[in-house]
Amino acid sequence: MKRLYLLGLMAGVSLHSIAAQTPSSLLDDKPAFIASLIEQMTLEEKIGQLRLISIGGDMPRERMLEELQAGHIGGTFNTVTRPDNRPMQEAALRSRLKIPVFFAYDVVHGHRTIFPISLGLASTWDLATIATSGRVSAIEASADGLDMTFAPMVDISRDPRWGRTSEGFGEDPYLVSEIARTMVQAYQGKSPAAADSVTASVKHFALYGAVEGGRDYNVVDMSPLRMHQDYLPPYRAAVDAGAGGVMVALNSINGVPASANSWLLKDLLRRDWGFEGVTLSDHGAISELIRHGVARDEREAALLAIKAGVDMSMADSLYQQELPGLVASGDVKIGEIDKAVREVLGAKYDMGLFHDPFRRIGLAQDDPKDRNAENRLHRKEAREVARQSIVLLENRDRTLPLKRSGTIALVGPLADSPVDMMGSWSASGVAKQSVTLRQGMLDALGNKAKLLHAVGANITDDKHMVEYLNFLNWDSPEVVQGPRSPAEMIAEAVAAAEQADVIVAAVGESRGMSHESSSRTSLQIPASQKALLRALKKTGKPLVLVIMNGRPLDLNWARNNADAVLETWFTGTEGGHAISDVLFGDYNPSGKLPISIPRSVGQIPTYYNHLRVGRPYVEGKPGNYTSHYFEEPTGPLYPFGYGLSYTDFDISDVRLSSSTMTRDGGIEASVTLKNVGQREGATVVQLYIRDEVASVIRPVKELKDFRKVSLKPGEVREVTFRVDEDDLEFVNAQLQRVAEPGAFEVQIGLDSQRVKPAKFTLL
């Protein structure tokens, strides 16, 4: 208590307990402490704890300080420095009960050091690597005085038209669940109360990635069976990992908005899953219940949200405005208010704020002189994670790695764009600190080769898209659309290409094109860039494409015309160095796709673990009256789990320890993996299970485990997976998790299509 008392004096608090009338002896008894505190609170103070307010966006700072001092705010977001947060905490501790406030922010894939976007993190298929990004993010965010991150985002995404595909970890329930668990543990560390940890608030609960048509904020209509089998598991994994918060989604679910959905928040989340943390509405979601058409007015909107179980109202005034009257009328019981307040105070307790309100803010004299110092501390980690996120899609005639000799032409609007390297939701990252591809290649080449550079094209020449991106203010207008004509820019690029031995073209999307509210009707690379690529192809020089994007794009032209294709997503602060490491062979790419790349928009949704049908298409056989499209080949352009290397791997047939499995037992499935190439490299060995016959239709296969393995040339290693009853379970028509007896097929391979099978029977 000594530290608490000293900090209280520092903040002008004369009492030796954070809560004015709460005995300090209760501080180590969480339930008793919170109960005592609630007992002392007025209704106005209780409602104040349910408000999550954006500094600047919702109210000016001066008003914010007044509201905090009055005890009318429970948490804030969008301030990210200690000098900004310290006065607000001091103001909160001048309130009657001296209840601390918490500070939150969207730390999704890095705070000051920016790591690859979430889709890129998932491409590593390496949980330890992903954990590194989360732990560094927590260290940097907490060092800035933040207590909570609105992450991880674990929405399953199977429609790449959705702009927020970039924020998630792909299409597969198992992979996303494993990453969800990893990120929660990385953010929260050994304890969310630790000074270098932040509380994870998993989002967006629930099913946001399944919005109709891939259009942001749209409706979700889904069967309970699919919901429980495919889309809910990642949220459950995050909750089971101890996530302290859950952000409620903006979408409706089967006709009921998530923010008014008591089944979702009370029955499923709290009763069935045992969640004990705090629930937060998404930005303005409670007032949006009126536009959804389920609330007549603001009063009813607040009523529906608090009744459904939304504890905190983000960027929304309705709780403060309407709850007093609802309590007075008896429509809302004081016990319902107390329950929400208990969750908010419980989250603050778990953050350690009642023991030390300045746990992460510290003393003014300890503030760093350079608020971006963290960015320099973690560049090594950023580079390593980014290298692992890169997926090699094509490499004809071993075009890559490039030689450090001769002349290389680097062209494209994304070749030297620091802001786009960071991708969407780049927190407190500073664009000028990002390493662009151009800078990375210059550093890699030194004086060994000549690098020519030309922009070659605007990101887009589409007037509507340019206006939209400039409106977002996430992209600089010079990058989106420059002052020169398209013909002049292409001519300059072709001139550079004709002088070069090889062309590297950095093309794709600007970060604003793969963001919230950036849904697209097309997956095409913008026409301005396609014209550039066609002109470069005509030079006859080897063409290497570096794709930067936040969603799967239509890469048919790239596959048919480029000599090599690297899928780099948005690689973050050290992206230019990481991509250059791969281009020049200093790092052998090992990334695998966490999401299928369709051939066209018409194939959407395209995902590997689709349900079986009665008339399946069989490759190589006549397609009449089978489930397929007749205009183009069936199946994705690049499948889930796919990714090449600069070496080659051979995998043996599957060996099973037994052909039968008992309920209380398990079997082992093994393969021999060999590096048959000339370079050291890593690949991901993937285990899939196919349930041959069940009471409901089952997917053609499901990922159940994976292992990343690094081998030297000629090295051989046995890779063994254990399969038990849990791996065979599914959700049946009664929404029960069961494993039914019968035949199963184990499939092991290096992607979801190239697999070796073996069969066993569950007794």
Angle at 519 between CA 515 and CA 524, to 5 degrees: 100
Angle at 568 between CA 528 and CA 403, to 5 degrees: 95
| Tokens coding 164 | 């927020």
Instruction: Tokens 């600007």: give the residue.
Output: 510
Whole-angstrom CA distances from 294 to 219, 264, 289, 684 are 14, 16, 6, 47
Q: Indicate left, alpha or beta for 473 from its phi (over 0: left) and psi (-120 to 50: alpha).
A: left
Q: What is the maximum alpha-carbon separation in the chain?
A: 83
Running DSSP on this structure, what letter comes out for residue 274? -
Kindly report the number of other CB atoms within 10 A of residue 639's CB atom. 18
Q: Is 646:677 a contact under the CB 8 Å cutoff?
A: yes
Q: C-alpha 343: how far from its chain's center?
A: 25
* Peptide bond before residue 204 is cis, with ω within 30 degrees of 0: yes
Which residues does 137 contact at the CB level (< 8 Å), separation at least 6? 107, 109, 110, 111, 113, 115, 149, 186, 187
Q: How far apart are CA 383 and CA 140, in angstroms?
A: 17
Kindly report the number of other CB atoms within 10 A of residue 197's CB atom. 25
Q: Indicate left, alpha or beta for 271 from its phi (over 0: left) and psi (-120 to 50: alpha).
A: alpha
The rounded radius of gyration (Å) of the Cα atoms in the chain is: 27
Facing residues of 721 across strands? 669
Identity of the residue numbered 150: F
Kindly report the number of other CB atoms within 10 A of residue 671's CB atom. 23
Q: Is 219:212 a contact under the CB 8 Å cutoff?
A: yes
Q: C-alpha 21: how far from its chain's center?
A: 43
Torsions phi, psi for 64 (to 5 deg): -60, -45
3-state secondary structure 247-290: EECCCEECCEEHHHCHHHHHHHHHHHCCCCCEEEECCCCCCHHH
Q: Is 381:577 a contact under the CB 8 Å cutoff?
A: no
Residue of 216, 230, 282, 581 with catalytic role: 282
The total number of residues shown for the chain amounts to 763
Q: Is 505:441 a contact under the CB 8 Å cutoff?
A: no
Kindly report the number of other CB atoms within 10 A of residue 640's CB atom. 25
Q: Is 643:590 a contact under the CB 8 Å cutoff?
A: yes
| Tokens coding 270 | 């709290």
Residue 282 designated active-site: yes
Identity of the residue numbered 169: F
Torsions phi, psi for 743 (to 5 deg): -85, 140
- The half-sphere exposure of 582 on its side-chain side, counting CA atoms within 13 A, is 33
3-state secondary structure 390-434: CEEEEEHHHCCCCCCCCEEEEECCCCCCHHHHHCCCCCCCCHHHC
Q: How far apart are CA 505 and CA 400, in angstroms?
A: 14
Identity of the residue numbered 318: L
Q: Mind telling me the catalytic residues? A: 282
